[in-house]
């Protein structure tokens, strides 16, 4: 009687195991791209959960969303603003839907992400760092295919397709924590971003190693990151197009938009080359006049003692700024038709 050899049995088991893994891996990627695009980006996932909860608790309230980069993420606490009401007296929900490192492209993506979740804010404040109009660094490997399709018209770079594709080859490892946050949070291998109720991040000094670096080294690093763009401030046409795409999308969806420049220390502002400030003002006032938008230039609003580094505030400074910013926004909302 013929008996299968151990080698053929082991081969079948190996093939079965490989097939099951491939099936699971394919299912994981399909689920991530179609139903759970936030698995690719845990900061987006945390802000998504916060915004959905806020919207579901008070679906009848108008919403003001503030989008922008790390200056918003670390420097704006909506809960410090106190109750905010529109002209009719209706209370407004205010959420911080920023993203680390965001410039025009990521701001555009964050707005699309918010809309994709079924949340259409009544108003939106778009924060932008002037240097991010020259160049914007985005971790493009951590984008879903839906995200890539949004950015593609505003990013003529083959890496926008190549890097996410490479990331998919190690998808189970790279995106495991986003998956585990949904199906088995206790097994996640790194903690998710913990936000306050409306999206502020008062614990950023604890959670970002760079923020706790030696102060002199930190200032040198930030100056290295920004100096070239601040000395030779030139607008990238693709980034300008992304800014305009945000405003066009707001117009299309009936969202009242405004643009804000968040606080900078006097040291940071001293890095601008002569003549750059005039060009910055000309660009933003021209853009806001073209779209009939409010423009909030808050760069000189806070004292140097309110900053942890040249352009990020301390939690205490952020709380004080949030109150001041609430007053500025409130005046505009109260006077809006």
d(CA 190, CA 202): 19
Length of the chain: 337
Closest alpha carbon to 124 in 53, 55, 62, 202: 62
The Cα–Cα gap between 13 and 172 comes to: 22
CB 130 within 8 A of CB 98: no
Q: How high is the pLDDT of residue 209?
A: 59
pTM: 0.87
**Which range has highest mean pLDDT (27-31, 89-93, 188-192)?**
89-93
> 321, 302 in Cβ contact below 8 A?
yes
Is the pLDDT higher at 314 or at 16? Answer: 314
Checking 173-177 for CB contacts under 8 A at 24+ apart, the result is: 174/141, 175/32, 175/39, 175/40, 177/42
Q: Is the pLDDT of residue 199 over 80?
A: no
Both structure tokens of 277: 């400030």
Cα–Cα–Cα angle for 230, 210, 40, rounded to 5 degrees: 90
Q: Is the pLDDT of residue 129 over 70?
A: yes
Span 215-231, pLDDT tens digits? 788 888 889 989 899 99
For 216-271, the pLDDT digits (tens) are 888 888 899 898 999 999 999 999 999 999 999 999 999 999 999 999 999 999 99
DSSP-H helix ranges across the chain: 6-34, 42-57, 70-75, 104-116, 145-151, 159-169, 171-174, 176-183, 204-207, 215-231, 237-253, 266-269, 276-291, 315-335
DSSP state of 302: S
Which letter does DSSP use for residue 69 in this model? S
- Kindly state the helix (H) or strand (E) to which residue 94 belongs, with its residue range: strand 91-96
Q: Where are the chain's structural domains?
A: 41-161+193-335
DSSP reduced 3-state for 261: strand
Judge contact between 122 and 63, C-beta under 8 A: yes
Task: Render pLDDT for 162-184 as a digit per residue (tens, 0 to 9).
Answer: 777 777 777 777 778 887 788 77
Residue 284 has pLDDT above 70, yes or no: yes
pLDDT band of residue 213 (cuts 50, 70, 90) is low
DSSP secondary structure string for all residues of 164-226: HHHHHHTHHHHTHHHHHHHH-GGG-SSPPP---TTS--TTHHHH-GGGGS-HHHHHHHHHHHH
Q: Is pLDDT above 90 for 120?
A: yes
277 pLDDT above the threshold of 90: yes
Rg over CA atoms, the chain: 23
Query: What's the average model confidence in pLDDT over 317-337?
Result: 81
41-161+193-335 CATH choice from 3.40.50.1110, 1.10.10.410, 3.30.470.10, 3.40.50.2000 = 3.40.50.1110
Q: Tens of pLDDT along 71-112? A: 999 999 998 887 888 778 888 899 999 998 899 999 999 999
Rounded-to-integer distance, Cα 323 and Cα 77, Å: 9
Question: For residue 292, is pLDDT > 80?
Answer: yes
The predicted pLDDT at position 332 comes to 73
Give yes or no for residue 275 having a pLDDT over 80. Answer: yes
Look at strands 312-313 and 307-309 and give their pairing. antiparallel
Q: Is the pLDDT of residue 6 over 70?
A: no
Cβ–Cβ under 8 Å, residues 335 and 294: no
DSSP 243: H
Q: Specify the pairing of strand 123-127 against strand 91-96.
A: unpaired
Q: What's the pLDDT score for residue 139? A: 67
Reading the block at residue 281, the tokens are: 């003002």
What pLDDT, on a 0 to 100 scale, did the predictor assign at position 108? 96
For the segment 13-35, the average pLDDT, to the nearest whole number, is 75
């Amino acid at each position: 009687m013929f008996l299968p050899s151990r080698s053929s049995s082991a081969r079948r088991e190996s093939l079965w195991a490989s097939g099951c893994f491939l099936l699971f891996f394919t299912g994981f990627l399909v689920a991530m791209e179609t139903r759970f695009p936030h698995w690719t980006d845990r900061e987006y996932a945390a802000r998504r959960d916060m915004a959905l909860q806020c919207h579901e608790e008070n679906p009848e309230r108008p919403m003001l969303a503030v989008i922008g980069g790390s200056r918003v993420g670390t420097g704006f606490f909506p809960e410090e603003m106190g109750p905010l009401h529109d002209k009719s007296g209706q209370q407004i929900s205010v959420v911080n839907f920023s993203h680390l490192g965001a410039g025009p492209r990521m701001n555009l993506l964050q707005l699309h992400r918010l809309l994709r979740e079924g949340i259409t804010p009544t108003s939106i404040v778009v924060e932008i760092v002037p240097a991010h109009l020259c160049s914007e660094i985005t971790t493009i490997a951590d984008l879903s295919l839906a995200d890539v399709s949004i950015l593609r018209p505003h990013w003529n770079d083959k890496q926008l397709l190549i890097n996410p594709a490479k990331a998919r080859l190690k998808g189970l490892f790279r995106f495991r924590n986003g998956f585990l946050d949904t199906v088995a949070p206790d097994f996640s291998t790194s903690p998710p971003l913990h936000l306050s109720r409306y999206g502020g991040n008062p614990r950023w000094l604890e959670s970002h190693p760079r923020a706790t670096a030696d102060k002199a080294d930190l200032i040198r690093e930030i100056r290295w990151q920004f100096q070239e763009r601040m000395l030779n401030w030139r607008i990238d046409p693709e980034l300008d197009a992304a800014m305009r795409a945000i405003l066009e999308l707001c117009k299309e969806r009936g969202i009242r938009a405004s643009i804000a420049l968040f606080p900078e220390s006097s040291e940071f502002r001293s890095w601008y080359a002569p003549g750059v400030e005039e060009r910055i003002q000309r660009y933003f006032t021209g853009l806001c006049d073209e779209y009939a938008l409010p423009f909030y230039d808050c760069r000189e609003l806070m004292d140097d003692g309110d900053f942890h580094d040249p352009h990020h505030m301390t939690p205490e400074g952020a709380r004080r700024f949030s109150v001041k910013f609430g007053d500025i926004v409130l005046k505009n909302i109260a006077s809006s038709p």
